[in-house]
A and B are shown apart, each in its own frame.
Chain A
């Protein structure tokens, strides 16, 4: 039986892929902090649910309609969850593929902090420019 935090994250990614932003918003602690590393237009620290949702809006703008994150695996324990994924995209005829790792700090079933990493930071930064 999967850890509750694993189930929560799997549901969250389903919701995200279905544009169910109410569920996405409900997963966040009020003092959530999101970290997007790198130097792209998406990079930075996002504090609070409003800023984090704003970041998702920016991602939708920069990434376009063909953005897809396929969950490869979810691992979780009481404090952390990690989602290993494959991102594919196609923008203006330019194909994009990368391995992603999202790391979550969790408390009482809510996300308090997260980091979004890709295995090729340079490629990601060039794409989200």
Chain B
């Protein structure tokens, strides 16, 4: 039987793929912080649900809805969940395809902080510009 935090993040990824922000809202703490490393136009720290949802919307919009994350595996314990992923997207005639990892701090059944790290940071930054 999977750890509850594994179920939590799998639910979150499924909701994201379906554009279901209502479900994601129940999984995030109000003071959530979302870290996107790198130097691209999307890099930064997004604080609070509004900023994070704004970021999700931007990603969806700028890729014409082509941004997709496939889960390779999820490992979770009481404090953390880690999701190994493969992402793909298209934007301005460019294609992005790469491995990544989402690291989540979880407290009382809600995500409080997250880091989204690409295996190839340079490729990601070039894609987003």
A interface, CB within 8 angstroms of B = 35, 37-39, 73, 75-77, 79-82, 84, 99, 101, 103, 115, 117, 119-122
Contact = CB atoms under 8 A, between A and B. Distances in A.
Question: Helix, strand, loop or mixed for chain B's interface?
Answer: strand
21 contacts: A35-B119, A37-B120, A37-B121, A73-B80, A75-B76, A76-B75, A80-B75, A80-B84, A81-B75, A82-B82, A82-B84, A84-B80, A101-B101, A103-B101, A115-B119, A119-B35, A119-B37, A119-B117, A121-B37, A121-B121, A122-B121
A89 B94 CA distance: 37
A47 to B, nearest CB: 17
Interface string B34-48: 010111000000000
Interface string B55-92: 00000000000000000010111011010100000000
B73 A80 contact: yes
B75 to A, nearest CB: 4
Contacts, number: 54
B103 interface: yes
| Residue among A75, A79, A80, A81 with most chain B CB within 10 A | A75
Contacts of B35: 119
B119 A117 contact: yes
B53 interface: no
B119 A84 contact: no
B80 A37 contact: no
Nearest to A38: B121
A73 B82 CA distance: 11
Contacts of A79: 73
A122 B39 CA distance: 9
Contacts of A120: 37
Contacts of A76: 75
Interface string B101-128: 1010000000000010101111000000
B117 A82 contact: no
A84 B103 contact: yes
Contact of B122 (A39, A77, A101): A39
A80 B99 CA distance: 15
A75 B73 contact: no
Contacts of A101: 82, 101, 103, 117
